[in-house]
Structure 1
Amino acid sequence: MTFGEFGGFSDTRFANMALAPEDFPQMWQRPSYEELTGILESLELSPPVWNHRQQRSDIVAQQESLATQRKAEVTRYLSSIIKSPLAWIDDYDKQEALWELASKRMSERCGRTAMGEVTRRWPFEGDGAACEPFELIIKEPALTGDSLGFKTWGSSYVLSRFLPRLAATSLFKIFDETLGQPPPTVLELGSGTGLLGVAAAAFWQTHVILSDLPNIVPNLKDNMEKNKDLVESRGGSMSVGPLTWGGEEDEIDQELFGECFQFKVVLVADPLYDDDHPALLASAICQNLTLGSESRAVVMVPMRDDTTRGLLESFKQAMLDLETPLFLEEEKKLDGEDDWGEDEDEGQVECWLGVFSRGGSPLTA
């Protein structure tokens, strides 16, 4: 029996009820394991379902029930379960399960970094009369340590939604079906959780190879498998392998990436976090993009702050400083969002989109 869209009850007596915290079964009442499990499951806070037509505040509000909106009262209730010995429940495994579930509900109210592993749904509109809307399922592991690759950043969703338009404009010659050529294999660099690469395989009906650091690859493969049936039903396919920018041979899948200049399209979203990244990314694009004037590298960078803007300018220059320069053919800015930051009010961010090629002239301001 479900409660709305975001949580579930294991006991049907709670169905269709919107209990206030003061109505929850209290510890002095010695509620049963089933009652406590039902309440705890109903209090789940899932990551928001992204919808670019809504403000982030609207998205968050949608997912919260009357009970979960009252954060302080709910937190105190969860704490009462965690501190209780639950002595009336004569099964230690069930006691452990309740403490663990209450702790999880508590962590969900402390921001994304405290939530642990989550699975998020990313809706997409159809790309034509013959194409139905679809949804991708992406798992994000717990954000601990060096976890940049385990977070699905908002700019990758912005670029993912923009893929059909890119195929019809900037990449038209590459994807023009009237030429009788099969669509090219696409490479995504720094795939993270894989949203952009999976979306490209689904929208462009082609083979996409997703890549990232070796420790990121297992989750990438998991997300590839989660979406494999949907992508294949739309005519696409995917592969995954490690590709460390500037890395040693054992950090690069030699079967997938041992040969240079293989990919007519290279995709990158939100790749710049360190002073070394602009030059490393430029080199990685140059090594993998096919030779010739028709190949294209598509790069999106969210303009969060002055540091990000500085890294972007360094990247543009690094592309020109290559032995065989890559020129900025066109650029534009798109509205995007960043979510699950420390500040709940943050959200809107402008995303820079650039399309690079080996031929032509540099784009001038």
Structure 2
Amino acid sequence: MSFTGGDSVVVVVATDDAAATEAVNEKQYFTRDLSLDNCLAAAADTATVVDLTVDQRFIGDVGCVVWDAALVLAKYLDRQSSRLGLRRPALVVELGAGTGFCGLCAAALGARAVITDLADCVDLMVRNVNKNRLLIGDRVAVHEYDWAQTAGGDQQLADEQLFFGHNITEINYILISDCLYYAQSVRQLYDTVDWLSSKGATVLMSYEDRDDKRPLVDKFFKLIKSKFIVNEISSDELHADYRSPDLHLYN
């Protein structure tokens, strides 16, 4: 429509409600890019340097952004992808995936990935899978999973072999990055790791030193070390640009 006043004409263009809503929704996101040196493009069986790009949310819980510890783990996967055998293709499970960053990285490097987190992270993980479809093909599955579902010591759990359609004997790697934020989740995470790795999967866990979370980290590692052999990965094995004294990676 238009309004005339004297010799001037003001034109008002009606805005499509759906487009306006979409534009507002997009403003809640900001991106994180990471260059991968050994990406296996979905359409080719050759390594190439590409950028993995994920969306993060300005507002949300701790899982809505990519933390530095995830960058350390992701670049370790990139640098060590051949030695880790990600193109077998390995089967990778990411727990507490948040944006799905580390699992998506593994998939871009040739692995199959199952990325999991609580319900409020699922739409963000799906968004990032779709955003990187050319890099990952159909190698990533997204699932809601609450570690509280893992009832440690329960005989039914001990007998259970399937995790979202995959026999746990198939799992090669379990990825965990900066997941120790709440006291109630420490035992739940341990029980989940204990179960999913019980048939031989290797656990790769990164975290950043935080004074207020130190008791949680200590409690988790006390549990882990009671049953597993735990080693901190040397900084020499990490990417030179993605390592710091306050960032740790264990297997």
| Pair in the same fold by TM > 0.5 | yes
Report deviation, 1:198. 0.5
Note the 1:23-34 alignment, pairs <5 A.
none
Report deviation, 1:313. 1.7
* Highest RCO, 1 vs 2 (Cα 8 Å, sep ≥ 6): 2
Choose from 116, 119, 122 the match for 2:33: 122
Match for residue 140 of structure 1?
56
Note the 1:151-162 alignment, pairs <5 A.
151-162=65-76
Partner SS for 2:38: coil
Partner SS for 1:215: helix
Q: Describe the shift of the 1:190–1:289 C-alpha distance in structure 2 as closer, same or farther (beyond 3 A).
A: same
Q: Describe the shift of the 1:176–1:162 C-alpha distance in structure 2 as closer, same or farther (beyond 3 A).
A: closer
Given the two structures, how large is their TM-score scaled by the length of structure 1? 0.51
Whether 2:246 is the aligned partner of 1:331: answer: no
Provide Cα deviations, 1:230-288, integer angstroms capped at 9, x if missing partner: 223xxx71111011101389xxxx87168655522101111111122332211111111
Whether 2:250 is the aligned partner of 1:354: answer: yes
Provide Cα deviations, 1:127-146, integer angstroms capped at 9, x if missing partner: 39x632111221223414xx
Match for residue 194 of structure 1?
100
Report deviation, 1:298. 0.2
Query: Taking every aligned residue pair, what percent have the same amino acid on both sides?
Result: 20
- Give the number of the structure whose alpha-carbon radius of gyration is greater: 1
Q: Describe the shift of the 1:331–1:310 C-alpha distance in structure 2 as closer, same or farther (beyond 3 A).
A: farther
Whether 2:125 is the aligned partner of 1:238: answer: no
Match for residue 163 of structure 1?
77
Gaps of 5+ in 2: 1-8, 16-20, 40-45, 152-161
Choose from 275, 278, 301 the match for 2:186: 278
Whether 2:168 is the aligned partner of 1:247: answer: no
Q: Describe the shift of the 1:273–1:336 C-alpha distance in structure 2 as closer, same or farther (beyond 3 A).
A: farther
Gaps of 5+ in 1: 1-87, 95-99, 105-114, 338-347, 356-365
Choose from 107, 111, 115 the match for 1:206: 111
CA distance in 2, matches of 1:277, 1:202: 29
The code of the aligned residue for 2:143 comes to: G
Q: Describe the shift of the 1:164–1:138 C-alpha distance in structure 2 as closer, same or farther (beyond 3 A).
A: closer
Given the two structures, how large is their TM-score scaled by the length of structure 2? 0.72
Provide Cα deviations, 1:71-110, integer angstroms capped at 9, x if missing partner: xxxxxxxxxxxxxxxxx9663867xxxxx9xxx9xxxxxx
Note the 1:245-324 alignment, pairs <5 A.
245-247=147-149, 256=164, 262-292=170-200, 295-303=201-209, 305-321=210-226
Q: Is the 8 A contact 1:119 1:139 kept in 2?
A: yes
- Comparing both structures, which one devotes a greater share of its residues to strand? 2
Provide Cα deviations, 1:284-321, integer angstroms capped at 9, x if missing partner: 111112424xx310000111x32233322211111134
The code of the aligned residue for 1:153 comes to: W
Partner SS for 1:331: coil
CA distance in 2, matches of 1:258, 1:202: 20
The code of the aligned residue for 1:351 comes to: L
Q: Is the 8 A contact 1:263 1:290 kept in 2?
A: no
Q: How many correspondences in the alignment?
A: 216
Partner SS for 1:133: strand
CA distance in 2, matches of 1:326, 1:281: 14
Partner SS for 2:249: strand
The code of the aligned residue for 1:291 comes to: K
The code of the aligned residue for 1:272 comes to: L
| RMSD after superposition | 3.4
Match for residue 224 of structure 1?
129
The code of the aligned residue for 1:163 comes to: L
CA distance in 1, matches of 2:73, 2:58: 24
